[in-house]
Amino acid sequence: MEENRLFLVKICSDLRIQRLLWRPVTMIGFDEHGAVREVQLIEKTMIICDTCGARVAVTERDLDEGLPMGYALCDEECIIEVVCEDRRRRYFKHLIDGVEIFLDLLNDPETDFRVKLMDYAKTRADVAEFCRYYAKWLGEPIMERLKHEVNKVLEKAITCWDQQEVFNVMEGVL
């Protein structure tokens, strides 16, 4: 089965996402018997960051006018959240930097494999910590999925690495 992946899209680069974001909000009022009393469509006048409430750029023109880049956090089925440039950096960049440092280390032939394994454990712990911390703002389910996906990348990287190295380390330990 295909995995449902998470990805960040620049809103100004994707017309389909822009259309989805501009759809009006539907408010439905019920009476005391539970019957629909009124339906109101509320047009949006701006698109805001779901975590800080700042207005974000939807088009290139908005960017020219100085609004921060807006990103849509999506999976293959829906738009989960809108985040601004600042929050994107805070939430995602630190995480990605940590993973990149680990991958560079893994590919460095000069580094002892035990050091790599230690860094692997550390990076996994950092990812878990990061996701726990930001779950407060972004919500538990998203961060759980993000953690799962990052860990998958880490696991794949470490298992693809020359298996012989693992045996050498094991022998050294025994």
Tell me which residues touch Zn ion (CB under 5 A): 49, 52, 54, 84, 87
Could you tell me the smallest distance in angstroms from the CB atom of residue 155 to Zn ion? Answer: 31
Encoded tokens for 101: 């440092």
The β-bridge partners of 70 are 84
Min dist. Cβ of residue 68 to Zn ion (A): 7
Cβ closest to Zn ion, residue 34 vs residue 53:
53
Output 49 or 154, the one with its CB closest to Zn ion. 49
Least separation in angstroms between CB 66 and Zn ion: 15
Q: How far is the CB of 151 from Zn ion (least distance, A)?
A: 26
Q: Which is nearer to Zn ion, 50 or 126 (CB)?
A: 50
Distance CA 14, CA 108 (A): 37
DSSP per-residue codes, 64-112:
HTTPPBEEEEE-SS-EEEEEEHHHHIIIIIHHHHHHHHHHHHHT-TTS-
Whose CB is nearest to Zn ion?
A: 49
Q: Which is nearer to Zn ion, 18 or 151 (CB)?
A: 18
Phi, then psi, of 29 in degrees rounded to 5: -100, 135
